Amino acid sequence: MLVVAGCGAAGAEFVRHFGGDVTVVSPSPLLVCQALLPAYVAGNVEEEELSINLKPFFRERGVVYRRGEVKFIKLKCNTLFSNYRTLRGISYDFAVIAVGGESCYYGVDCRNCLSVNTLEDARVARERVSAGGKVVVVGSGMTGVETAYELSDLCRVTLVEAQSRILPAMGEKASVYVRKLLERKGVKVLTSCRVEDVSYEESVVKSSCGELGFDEVVWCAGIRGREISGLDYGKLGIKVDESLRAYENVFAIGDCAEVVVKGEVATKTALEAERQAKFVAKTISRMLKSEKIGLNTYVPFSTNKRPFAILTFGEKGLIVRGNTVIASPSNLIYKLKRMIVKRFLKNFIV
């Protein structure tokens, strides 16, 4: 029996590429394209444009769907445990962990902060920012810069980054270009500015740059693999080998995994999630046919040393590949990104 934990981009793509019997365990059967969540929060995209219910797809494929959230795993017993009303064990021969990521707070109390990490988070954020006011966006990775730009039509936005430039995982050309875009939209950009505390009672973010007043705070400062007890975690998520195995018969893919191959760290993007899913589907198919196969090494396309990203700001956009930046003042890249999302979701329409 093969069990997949999670049905985001990584989990859904694994099911699509794997030809055998599968059981999927996930809190929801909804597949969400997270790349459009910043636009959704600002009211520029609707839910039907970025999500699809996978139940009809599962039925057509003969996939068993069980509602629940995997909480821990007993590796030597080949058993996953999920909680939906009651804790229950699910036995497996192979398991694919694709439970996604969760926000990193770095010791800051962010219990009231907004997030755009999941559709549920984004729904709350959309409602609370709709009245406008002052918004502090913490973190200037891909999600942070897009969120700051999208919200600038509704709110007075301050973008806070602890490192010396925004988009620190990208090349300097991308950082300079995006900073200019944001400042032209009226976004105040603070770099080398570390958040120390967030007080909703005082409506103040306390930082190394001083106090910043706000009506809402949107936390976009990093993602780490969602926690499942029984697995070994690194700084970024579940530790896997170069074949994406967390254990002999357990694989981890997508945002929940810390994928390091030959010293390069795979980025946490939908593109990487899809490629990892396809790789693991082929690997397990080969393992089921023969117990004595040698495992291949996964080759990431987008890494910390050579990242790839498509960023959109309203109808403007840019493509980043390593130190190369392709910018378009027109809506060509924006249309490309929307087309990619539409085609991806179309794969699951029956």
* pLDDT digit string (tens) for the chain, length 350 residues: 999 999 999 999 999 999 889 999 999 999 999 999 999 999 999 999 999 999 999 999 999 999 999 999 999 999 999 886 665 899 999 999 999 999 999 899 998 999 999 999 999 999 999 999 999 999 999 999 999 999 999 999 999 999 999 999 999 999 999 999 999 999 999 999 999 999 999 999 999 999 999 999 999 998 899 999 999 999 999 999 999 999 999 999 999 999 999 999 999 999 999 999 999 999 999 998 876 778 999 999 999 999 999 999 988 899 999 889 999 877 899 999 999 999 999 999 99
Q: Which pLDDT score is estimated for 72?
A: 93
pLDDT of the residue at 84: 67
Per-residue three-class SS string for the chain: CEEEECCCHHHHHHHHHCCCCCEEEECCCEEECHHHHHHHHCCCCCHHHCEEECHHHHHHHCCEEEECEEEEEEHHHCEEEEEECEEEEEECCEEEECCCEEECCCCCCCCCCECCCCHHHHHHHHHHHCCCCEEEEECCCHHHHHHHHHHCCCCEEEEECCCCCCCCCCCHHHHHHHHHHHHHCCCEEECCCCEEEEECCCCEEEECCEEEECCEEEECCCEEECCCECCCECCCCEECCCCCEEECCEEECHHHEECEECCEEECCCHHHHHHHHHHHHHHHHHHHHCCCCCCCCCCCCCECCCCEEEEEECCEEEEEECCEEEEECCCHHHHHHHHHHHHHHHCCCC
Positive or negative: CA dihedral 343, 17, 269, 327: negative
pLDDT for position 348: 97
- Tokens read off for 120: 């549920």
User: What's the start-to-end Cα distance of the chain, in Å?
Assistant: 25
Nearest Cα to 17, choosing from 5, 9, 26, 27?
A: 9
Amino acid (one-letter) located at 113: C
Tokens matching residue 86: 């009651």
pLDDT of residue 315: 86
d(CA 9, CA 2): 18
Residue for token pair 């007993």: 74
Q: Is 230 left (phi over 0), alpha (psi -120 to 50) or beta?
A: left
Residues 6 or more apart from 193 whose CB is under 8 A from it?
160, 161, 162, 207, 208, 209
Left (φ > 0), alpha (ψ -120 to 50) or beta: where does 18 sit? beta
Q: Which residues contact 263 (CB under 8 A, 6 or more apart)?
A: none
Q: Residue 239 is encoded by which pair of tokens?
A: 């530790």
User: 143 is written with which tokens?
Assistant: 């999600």
Write down the pLDDT at residue 71.
92
* Whole-prediction pTM: 0.94
Give residues with Cβ within 8 angstroms of 301, minimum separation 6.
271, 272, 275, 308
Can you list the domains of the chain with their CATH numbers? 2-27+68-102+223-289 (3.50.50.60), 105-221 (3.50.50.60)
